[in-house]
Amino acid sequence: MIDTPPNVLLLILDSARARNTSLHGYHRETTPFLEEFASSATTYTQARAPAGRSLPSHASIFSGYLPQEHGINDLENKLEREANVFARLADNGYDTGLFTDNPYLTDLDTGLSSGFETVFNDRDLYEDGESPSAFVEEESLDKVEFLTRALRSDAPIKSLANGVSWMLKWRYPRLAPEGTVFSRGFTYAERFAQWRTDRKGPWAACINLMDTHVPFRPGEEYDRWATSDGKNAQNRTDMENIGDDERWKFALLEDRYDGTIRQADAVVEQILTALKEDRELSNTYVVVTADHGEGFGERSPIDDHPSIGHGDAVDEPLLHVPLVVKEPGQSKGRTVSEPVGIVDTPVAIERATTGDVDGPSFVTDRTVFAGGFEDGDPIDAAYGSHESHGVRKYVQNGSESWSVHVPTPRDAYCLDAEIPPAIESEIDALSPANVTQAAESEVTESVEQTLSALGYTE
């Protein structure tokens, strides 16, 4: 055990794939701060997400169980509180906070927010007006009572505007003022800083930044590579309808995507710089990663299908994610090139908070796995080190299996149709972990509209 428990900060850049970060050799300078930060942290060059979309991936990140084990792939089940690493931290004296726009973490009955004492997911147009989201938390939703409070407040016009934008956000999100549906990460950086400074003891926080998620709308300062055509490009729904003779449209969208990564990098800089200035960084365990990546039409080396957006596939653009970790007191940078899984985030956090760290905290003895679906059937992926460089990937879909060499974040080659018997046995041994219970609430129309605006539903 350690005398002073470190703080814990988990920063998730939603949908940020490794191959588009300059941290991983990308030709555009999309992550200058993260590269600087990595010089005194640990960079895992072969980190893999456990799934290609938010819900199962976050369930794995919070619980330490693979999608094949926790089974949270839809809204029928939710994660039990006891399985959430942040709940265990809260039970051990940590103040816990969650900051994000992602509805799977905050608005839906997934159990992912159950480990957090503070959950912040709304942004008002005017901070000096009455906040409808805070009103709902305090008084429950009563439109007449909120209207009365707004009119009696010191800023009635701004309060009413907050109320209108809040209603639009939840009922008709596409009509809401820009920035109220998908708040830029700087909003959460500020809210987190306010929350953090009020803590009296150790804290543990997760900040999920949706800046890098569709629709790709970086601020002008960070939108450095998009042309006027690219800025008018449509979202992921249209990406799925791009034909082979229109592949240039993927490049336009990727230009904007790169701008969102640059913006998220700036948000991370603001968060970690403030921590350093407040002399908290040296006693904080920091994890910067992504829940999954994004596909822009890259072809699978197995069956040549295009990887588009994100979802249930196990393609490399969806699974290879950045991972930079700073241990408390760490001052020298190091690089880990063997495969690791961000599913082991709970293991890494518990190692750091108990002082049981002997080497890189994300390196474990178990094989790195990921899971997905193809035409409703489960598909499994496993990773191992390659004898020369990169990683060896094994994919199993029913009775079919493949071996793939992934030498760089941008290349993958199908080698043969066999996987080692030991890997096959491990895949077959994956079984339910019994860490869920039935979800109780249905998806409301307003949340359904928010999911649609994020590209999760049509």
User: Residue 328: which of 295, 281, 291, 373 has the closest Cα?
Assistant: 281
The CA radius of gyration of the chain, in Å to the nearest whole number, is 22
pLDDT for position 224: 94
Per-residue confidence band for 139, with pLDDT thresholds at 50, 70 and 90: very low
CA atoms within 13 A on the CB side of 271: 31
DSSP alpha helices (H): ranges in 71-227? 85-91, 103-106, 132-139, 143-152, 156-171, 185-197
Reported as a pLDDT band with limits 50, 70 and 90, residue 450 is low
Above 80 in pLDDT, residue 445? no
pLDDT digits (tens, 9 = 90+) for 163-176: 777 666 545 444 45
**Contact between 196 and 277 (Cβ < 8 Å):** no
Alpha-carbon distance 115 to 428, whole Å?
31
Which CATH number does 7-123+179-453 carry?
A: 3.40.720.10
pLDDT tens, residue by residue, 213-244: 987 888 889 999 998 776 765 444 467 777 77
Question: Which are the contacts of 93, defined by CB distance < 8 A and separation ≥ 6?
Answer: 5, 201, 202
Q: pLDDT at position 140, please?
A: 40
154 pLDDT exceeds 90? no
pTM > 0.75: yes
Residues 6 or more apart in contact with residue 59 via CB below 8 angstroms: 65, 67, 70, 72, 79, 110, 111, 112
DSSP string, 268-285: HHHHHHHHHHTT-GGGEE
pLDDT tens by residue, 115-138? 999 998 865 567 567 766 555 434
Q: How far apart are CA 159 and CA 375, in angstroms?
A: 48
- In 320-376 the beta strands, taken as DSSP E runs, fall at 323-326, 334-336, 340-341, 368-374
Read off the amino acid at residue 134.
A
Spatial distance between the Cα atoms of 362 and 352, rounded to a whole number of angstroms: 10
3-state secondary structure of 419: coil
Mean pLDDT of all residues in 240-258 = 83
Convert the pLDDT of each residue in 288-312 to its tens digit: 999 999 999 899 999 888 888 888 8
Contacts of residue 374, defined as CB under 8 A and 6 or more positions apart, other chains included, come to 312, 313, 397
Looking at the DSSP assignment, which residues form a beta bridge with residue 287? 10, 325
To the nearest whole number, what is the mean pLDDT of the chain?
A: 87
Query: How far apart (Å, rounded) are the C-alpha atoms in residues 404 and 418?
Result: 10
Per-residue pLDDT at 3 exceeds 80: no
Q: Which residues contact 22 (CB under 8 A, 6 or more apart)?
A: 28, 29, 30, 31, 32, 35
For 400-414, write each residue's pLDDT tens digit: 999 999 999 999 999
pLDDT of residue 130: 74
Residue 439 near residue 76 (C-beta atoms within 8 A): yes
